[in-house]
A and B are shown apart, each in its own frame.
Chain A
Amino acid sequence: GQQLNQSPQSMFIQEGEDVSMNCTSSSIFNTWLWYKQEPGEGPVLLIALYKAGELTSNGRLTAQFGITRKDSFLNISASIPSDVGIYFCAGDNYGQNFVFGPGTRLSVLP
């Protein structure tokens, strides 16, 4: 079945640094979603992407839908301690169920 890969698996950064993570697949998707999950909570949607090449921002977060439709990246600028969590990408192919990546665990050091 469809699988997503996320990199890096985990990262430790200093507060104020920028963060970049990505998500790749061997399959084409028509929708990419990025979620953040904090301990004890369900995933919360950060950004949704619907078109190849689309670049979308949400505050300090920016995500892009790769032109091949097989990848997406998420950037976080000027990280702060509350950015800590696990970031999941998810892909959907024309109404079939969303597939989730394994996640990138982000730690922010003060």
Chain B
Amino acid sequence: SAVISQKPSRDICQRGTSLTIQCQVDSQVTMMFWYRQQPGQSLTLIATANQGSEATYESGFVIDKFPISRPNLTFSTLTVSNMSPEDSSIYLCSVSGQGQNLTFGSGTRLTVV
């Protein structure tokens, strides 16, 4: 299965600022996704990152708050904009290919102060 590198692994940010998280995959993949895992909670899908077009956002998530880029089949970024303490979570990149299951990166642990 694909190997995913996610950066940064953790960060502490001031409220009102933005953080961009990078996801690099070692092989071309069909689908890339961004998940959020709030403290002690399960995983919630933020959006599907589409190559060369706007991401597809799930209910409750909007592009202005979580802009996503996917310039090619191996790379994507998620930006958490205008952060507040409620945005403190683990953000996870995941990928799947044809007939493959979801593989996750190790996540970015974000703390907003």
- In the complex formed, the residue of A with least CB distance to B106 is A42
B109/A40 in contact, CB under 8 A: yes
B44: A residues at CB distance < 8 A: 100
| Number of A residues with CB within 8 Å of any CB on chain B | 19
* Distance of A98 Cα from B45 Cα, bound (Å): 8
Contact with B along A84-107 (1 / 0, CB 8 A): 000010100000011011110000
Among candidates B1, B42, B48, B101, residue contacting A100 with C-beta atoms closer than 8 Å: B42
* Distance of A103 Cα from B41 Cα, bound (Å): 8
- In the complex formed, the residue of A with least CB distance to B107 is A42
User: Total contacts A to B, CB within 8 angstroms?
Assistant: 43
- Most A-side CB within 10 Å, residue of B48, B59, B103: B103
B107/A41 in contact, CB under 8 A: yes
The verdict on A44 contacting chain B, using a C-beta distance below 8 Å, is yes
* Distance of A26 Cα from B92 Cα, bound (Å): 27
A33-B101, A33-B102 known; A88-B43 Cβ under 8 A = yes
B104/A100 in contact, CB under 8 A: no
A40: B residues at CB distance < 8 A: 106-107, 109
A42-B92, A97-B33, A97-B48 known; A102-B42 Cβ under 8 A = yes
B43/A43 in contact, CB under 8 A: yes
- In the complex formed, the residue of A with least CB distance to B109 is A40
* Distance of A97 Cα from B59 Cα, bound (Å): 13
A48/B101 in contact, CB under 8 A: yes
The verdict on A67 contacting chain B, using a C-beta distance below 8 Å, is no
The verdict on A28 contacting chain B, using a C-beta distance below 8 Å, is no
Among candidates A1, A45, A101, A102, residue contacting B102 with C-beta atoms closer than 8 Å: A45
B98 nearest CB across to chain A (Å): 11
Q: List 5 A-B pairs, minimum CB-CB distance, nearest first.
A: A42-B104, A100-B43, A102-B42, A100-B42, A42-B107
